[in-house]
Structure 1
Amino acid sequence: MTDLVQNPKKDRKHIKLILGLLFDGIGLLSYTVPFLGEGIDVIWAPISGLLLAYMYKGTIGKVAGIFGFLEEIIPMLDFIPTFTITWVYTYIIKSDDKK
């Protein structure tokens, strides 16, 4: 507990992971509704893109937002976990580059 108080960025990192998994799950829900699924994606695609751009600032957020929008709007690409991939890139791959 004291680690979270001393390092609030670590807490935000875990919250972003949980939210990302939730949002990736929402993106997969379109597969559960036959024939209406792609229509749902038309609504979810811009929301997904905006959420990615909001959660991850700067170039990473912009690129992820565009990719997330395209992934949701193009049929049959919904299975790609864009939020989780962005989290892994931001907190694992990019942080390894800093070391």
Structure 2
Amino acid sequence: MNKFLKLFLCLMLDAVGYLSFVIPGIGEFSDVIWAPLSGYIMTKLYKGKAGRIAGVIAFVEEAFPFSDVVPTFTIMWIYTYLITSKTKKQL
């Protein structure tokens, strides 16, 4: 998958996580469904140990009330394509 297409997808997935703020009370209930789903999607988008760790972080972040403001998918994209790739180039 193209890295910019993946970035767009990550932004959209983070937006889905923000939807729980749209409907107060009911929105937080939606996190019961979205938390495990976001963890699963994260592990499919990013393979290996980093993907599994990010999946757990995504699950925990979505499961805790009012922590949806953290753009977990986008942060993982930045880590994968900007931080890690920059480190590999330096080696």
TM-score, scaled to structure 2: 0.95
Q: Equivalent residue for 1:84? A: 74
SS in structure 2 at match of 1:96: helix
Moved over 3 A (4+): none
1:20 matched to 2:10: yes
1:44 matched to 2:34: yes
Which consecutive unaligned segments of at least 5 residues does structure 1 have? 1-10
For 2:7 and 2:60, locate their aligned partners in 1 and report how far apart those are by CA, in whole Å. 21
Q: Higher relative contact order at CA 8 Å, sep ≥6: structure 1 or structure 2?
A: 2
1:74 matched to 2:64: yes
When Rg is computed on C-alpha atoms for both structures, the one with the higher figure is 1
TM-score, scaled to structure 1: 0.87
For 2:24 and 2:47, locate their aligned partners in 1 and report how far apart those are by CA, in whole Å. 35
Which consecutive unaligned segments of at least 5 residues does structure 2 have? none
| Per-residue Cα deviation, 1:5-24 (whole angstroms, up to 9, x for no partner) | xxxxxx62111100000000
Shift of 1:83: 0.2
